A and B are shown apart, each in its own frame.
Chain A
């Protein structure tokens, strides 16, 4: 039984589902471009933080808004949601695409963010360590690329993908395509990254097959004081494969 309580809100017309658990300072978690990994891993944070894990529009339990075509739309969505939740200042953790979003949010609205953790964040245009163009990968090949040890992810997937599972993945891929099909990278994002001035931690799985861990050093160019931790034996979903990485987030944020 999950510790999380489920709350449904309407944010600027979009059904938005938020999972919340724990006590302490608020910690917002932005998930990545898929939601099969779930929020259970974040239970490790709940003894020290009030964890707030929303589903982005177009993903998981939240509704769709086909007018969301840029990351800016998501920043605006979250400004609205945080106002509704009366979250003035909070810790922010983002994974993969959620890391991109968290970094963008922190570069634009730094005064709202207390500390920032980026887990295998997307968003950089880094020709020496290029991100895999995940939109070009056949759906059935994606799970195998997400982790180093497939057993970790296997229990979160249906034994044989049924139509509903396929439909849900297609829906999330559609949301991702709206954002990134024509322009997987946004040079303007990097142009303003230096404005992130809050304490920042960057976490990566050394064997990440989606976004190479080599990008961590590129992030350092934009955020010179970032605390970088790279975990051996873990892939893109380092938070599922290495509980100590999840604990490191809690320690850094405390």
Chain B
């Protein structure tokens, strides 16, 4: 019998009022002038977006997911734990995933404390993913990208030690010294909330997840690459004596459900196009600050970027990534196939993109919850489904 499916709603909470002249800027990250942020509109958006995640709780989703980015219209969640705190207060059942704050941008004890506070407040509903942080974040935060990976490792060690061992303990490392590592409170979940690493597939990061027995959430990689990464994680984790469960491999999907295929495409594609072209717009320099990648990874990614050059092509992009747009049947079929192919039962869906209006988001959330989730849960109940491959 296959494990039950799990459905997350992931929100980027973008600042969706791009100025008319925004195309003049090569990047909407890092250097995009913050004079274009209007707090009045920001106020409206925060309330609206948090409301959408509260609705997800009421509609029966299993989890809501927030994340952290800086200096960008792509996401207004510079401080995701503050958003999570609001969600703790306004939701009843959903698990709240902070996927997450890059440990390099916060003192490790402080991050362990914040997650523990949320976990205790929510009675154990918190899940955590640790990102190294995109290249862009290293232009926006005063942290050296060339030593980021070793600092990341050390931070994780401190956080896990703070959560798992009775304090006070000590830590003497290259980046941090703790004479009394003894954070109050401790997390509600013992020894700690479920942990993942989230990233774009650097071998160095996969290795950390494998070593720690964490889940790995790959984001913005192609379908083929995501499958490779899942396999790599399973293989490397077994090397360290860990068995990766299907729920440790959250699958990032972009979905939009409507009454007909035509209507779904008409309602969704313009927003998806703006997501890729405008909200995710950045430059190679920002993507890869010096030392953020190994030289081999840089060359590999530069070669791939060259191949992917060209305008937005919905068909190509939806075959490349896990994007499903259409009727409840179509979306359920796509996701059903993906879960089998990717050997996961954990579906992490982005249901709002770019400047999608509230009504479409509510419609999407509702149709997916009422018509897609039951279909998939019913299918997953049939044991031959997971064994089919």
Contact between A171 and B295, CB atoms less than 8 A apart: yes
Contact between B303 and A178, CB atoms less than 8 A apart: no
Q: Separation in Å of the B245 CB from the closest CB of chain A?
A: 35
Contact between A135 and B298, CB atoms less than 8 A apart: no
A166 an interface residue at 8 Å Cβ cutoff? Answer: yes
Q: A139-B285, A163-B299 are in contact. Are A182 and B142 (CB under 8 A)?
A: yes
> With A and B bound together, what is the CA distance between A170 and B135 in angstroms?
14
Contact between B298 and A166, CB atoms less than 8 A apart: yes
> With A and B bound together, what is the CA distance between A67 and B145 in angstroms?
14
Q: Mark B18-47, 1 if CB is under 8 A from A, else 0.
A: 000000000000000000000000000000
> With A and B bound together, what is the CA distance between A173 and B142 in angstroms?
17
Q: Which of A166, A176, A177 has the most CB of B within 10 A?
A: A177
Query: Which residue on chain A has the smallest CB distance to residue B142?
Result: A182
Residues of chain B contacted by A178 (CB below 8 angstroms): 144, 146-147, 291
Q: Separation in Å of the A122 CB from the closest CB of chain B?
A: 16
Residues of chain A contacted by B285 (CB below 8 angstroms): 138-139
Contact between B144 and A177, CB atoms less than 8 A apart: yes
> With A and B bound together, what is the CA distance between A177 and B298 in angstroms?
16
> With A and B bound together, what is the CA distance between A164 and B299 in angstroms?
8
A62 an interface residue at 8 Å Cβ cutoff? Answer: no
Interface residues on chain A, size class: 10 to 19
A10 an interface residue at 8 Å Cβ cutoff? Answer: no
Of residues 287 through 345 on chain B, the ones whose CB sits less than 8 Å from some CB of chain A are 288-291, 293, 295-296, 298-299, 302-303
Name B's interface SS: helix
Name A's interface SS: helix
Residues of chain A contacted by B144 (CB below 8 angstroms): 177-178, 181-182
> With A and B bound together, what is the CA distance between A178 and B285 in angstroms?
17
Interface residues on chain B, size class: 20 to 34
A174 an interface residue at 8 Å Cβ cutoff? Answer: yes
Q: Which of B139, B296, B299 has the most CB of A within 10 A?
A: B299
B283 an interface residue at 8 Å Cβ cutoff? Answer: yes
> With A and B bound together, what is the CA distance between A174 and B296 in angstroms?
13
Residues of chain A contacted by B291 (CB below 8 angstroms): 173-174, 177-178, 181
Query: Which residue on chain B has the smallest CB distance to residue A64?
Result: B295
Contact between A170 and B142, CB atoms less than 8 A apart: no
Q: Separation in Å of the A166 CB from the closest CB of chain B?
A: 6
Contact between B145 and A163, CB atoms less than 8 A apart: no
Contact between A177 and B289, CB atoms less than 8 A apart: yes
Q: A69-B147, A139-B285, A166-B298 are in contact. Are A174 and B303 (CB under 8 A)?
A: no
Q: A163-B302, A163-B303, A177-B290 are in contact. Are A170 and B145 (CB under 8 A)?
A: no
Q: Mark A147-176, 1 if CB is under 8 A from B, else 0.
A: 000000000000000011011101101101
Contact between B146 and A174, CB atoms less than 8 A apart: yes
Contact between A177 and B145, CB atoms less than 8 A apart: yes
Contact between B145 and A167, CB atoms less than 8 A apart: no
> With A and B bound together, what is the CA distance between A170 and B139 in angstroms?
16
Q: Mark B348-384, 1 if CB is under 8 A from A, else 0.
A: 0000000000000000000000000000000000000
Contact between A177 and B146, CB atoms less than 8 A apart: yes
Closest CB pairs A-B (n = 3): A173-B290, A177-B290, A174-B291
A–B Cβ pairs within 8 angstroms, 10 of them: A135-B290, A139-B285, A166-B299, A167-B296, A167-B298, A171-B295, A173-B290, A177-B289, A178-B144, A178-B147
Which A residues are closer than 8 A to B by beta carbons?
69, 135-136, 138-139, 163-164, 166-168, 170-171, 173-174, 176-178, 181-182
Add 13 more A-B contacts to A167-B295, A173-B291 (CB < 8 A): A138-B283, A138-B285, A163-B302, A166-B299, A166-B302, A167-B296, A170-B288, A170-B290, A177-B144, A177-B291, A178-B144, A181-B291, A182-B144
